[in-house]
Amino acid sequence: MTGTERRHAGRPRSERAEKAIIEATLDLLAEESGVAGVSIEAVAARAGVGKTTIYRRWPSKEALIVHALGAVKEPLPEPSGRSAREDLTAIARRFAGDRHRRYSRCFWNVVGGAEKYPELYARYRQEVIEPRRDVIREVIQRGVGSGELRPDLDVEVAMSLLLGSLTAKRPQETFPEGYADAVVDTLLRGIESGPRSRPEADGGRFSAR
């Protein structure tokens, strides 16, 4: 077997090990003990790998947790640039649909432990949250530049209003059907630069399940 063949033969095993490590990390993080229950030793035991296998990929428990949390989130849709409304609606739908119960529990365990694990939360915010916020920030800034949104708009406030409406629920809760579209419609009524180009469209659009 050539060197190239050996590398290709070993790759599936490496991918399986990485998936098992990530799954084990999320399982431990979702449990009641949260961050405190995650250790390299515990992850290795649950994933069925050696500690050295983990350390070859991640230098610390914090790096592993952040990677696992980032890996489970679906990437935001690529903005089309045709309109802020279209792009914000696509993004809002993705956020509203990103309600995997286990992930939500992991997220709340990390956020809830922010005071106890400030470096972990800061790293999670920098590597996972901020890149996603950058996508939204660019969409809003583009809308201001094109004249679709008000020129005096506070971009950070508008972004916080959107995200706050889409991330406030606890793991066991779900959003009503059509909620994401209604959030964007409501937000745009306050930040669009002129009269809405279409009649009210969110009346009765969503209803509680």
Could you read off the pLDDT tens digit of each residue along the chain, which spans 209 residues?
444 444 444 456 688 999 999 999 999 998 888 898 999 999 999 999 999 999 999 999 999 999 999 888 888 999 999 999 999 999 999 888 765 656 777 877 887 777 888 899 899 999 999 999 999 999 999 999 999 999 999 999 999 999 989 876 665 567 888 999 999 999 999 999 875 444 344 444 544 43
Q: Which helix (H) or strand (E) holds 159?
A: helix 155-166
pTM score, two decimals?
0.75
Paired residues of 149 in beta bridges = 192
Q: Looking at residue 84, what is its pLDDT?
A: 96
Q: Looking at residue 45, what is its pLDDT?
A: 96
Q: Looking at residue 12, what is its pLDDT?
A: 64
Q: Exposed, middle or buried, 10 (CB in 10 Å: 0-12/13-18/19+)?
A: exposed
Q: Looking at residue 31, what is its pLDDT?
A: 87
Q: Exposed, middle or buried, 87 (CB in 10 Å: 0-12/13-18/19+)?
A: buried
Which domains does the chain possess?
3-70 (1.10.357.10), 75-191 (1.10.357.10)
Q: CA nearest 44: which of 61, 69, 31?
A: 61
d(CA 25, CA 44): 9
Residue found by looking up tokens 């939360």 in the block? 121
